[in-house]
Amino acid sequence: MSSLDLSDFDPLGSDSALIVYIDYKSPYAFIAKDPTYAIEDQLGIAIDWRPLTLDIPSYLGSARLDDKGKVAESNRTPQQWSGVKYAYRDARRYAALSDYTLRGTTKIWDSSLASIGMIWTKAQGPVQLRRYCDIVYERFWKRELDIENPEVIEGLINEAGADTDGFEGYLVGDGRRIHDEMQARIFAAGVFGVPSYVVDGELFFGREHLPMVRWLLDGSKGNAPDIAYREFAG
């Protein structure tokens, strides 16, 4: 099963009004999930969700914690550590508002299998994709999920209500090829982080831009809004 034909893949273009790039190992992408759903539901649009599998060590250094949560290995600068620690504290306080658990990870995960699972599930429908995203995010951030295990990913797809027939081969064949080629093209197009939003070819990095994204999608009525983390429900 080929979930995506890359011949007409445009990192900054889509048939959908909104492209959203996510990575399951990003706490900020996790926190952006529900406010982004809210915009999708309120405006009645179909979001083109896409995976951006981050290569974190290339820009933020790498680190691994031991069983007691102490740093076992690290090549991060003090400034990088300050930024990373703040990012987790920040994401955690917002996660708490939605009753989500957000535990710091003990290593930098390779989330490419989960990304390939996303591409596979997306091809089967938006309902299955949303369920898959919810399950992966919520369990991963409770440290209940090994997203580097192919069998685990297949189980999640099944649980999301999507067909898994052929997924095992896809994961190491077409899925891997499509994923890797997509990543190269996405990065080359200037999309470097998650969550990222693309409206009419314009890139917005971070959920603080959701007021602007919503304003653009809703016809640019009135004054353009400033950045803000805010509630969109209701």
If one counts every other C-beta atom within 10 angstroms of the C-beta of residue 39, the result is 20
Q: Would you count residue 193 as binding another protein (CB under 8 A)?
A: yes
Number of residues located near another protein, criterion CB under 8 A: 34
| CB of residue 214 to another protein, shortest distance in Å | 14
93 binds another protein (CB under 8 A): yes
Min CB(164)–another protein separation in Å: 32
Question: What angle separates helix 150-159 from helix 112-122, to the nearest 10 degrees?
Answer: 30
In the complex, least distance from residue 227 CB atom to another protein, rounded to whole angstroms: 5
Contacts (Cβ under 8 Å, ≥6 apart) of 152: 145, 146
Give least dist CB 208 to another protein, A. Answer: 4
The interface with another protein within residues 14-53 (CB under 8 A) comprises 31, 34-35
227 touching another protein, by CB under 8 A: yes
How far is CA 165 from its chain centroid? 24
- Nearest 10 degrees: CA dihedral of 102, 105, 109, 111? 0
**Nearest CA-CA partner of 28 in 71, 73, 92, 77:** 92
Q: Is 59 in the site for another protein (CB under 8 A)?
A: yes
Q: Could you say whether residue 226 binds another protein (CB under 8 A)?
A: yes
**Residue 142 engages another protein in binding (rule: CB under 8 A):** no
Q: Site for another protein (CB under 8 A): which residue of 98, 101, 158, 220? A: 98
Residue 187 sits in the site that holds another protein (CB under 8 A):
yes
DSSP labels for 41-91?
HHHT--EEEEE----THHHH--EEE-TTS-EEEE---HHHHHHHHHHHHHH
Do the Cβ atoms of 182 and 123 come closer than 8 Å? no
204 secondary structure, DSSP code: E
Which residue ranges make up the site for another protein (CB under 8 A)?
Answer: 31, 34-35, 55, 58-59, 79, 82, 86, 90, 93-94, 97-98, 187, 190, 192-193, 203-206, 208, 212, 223-231, 233
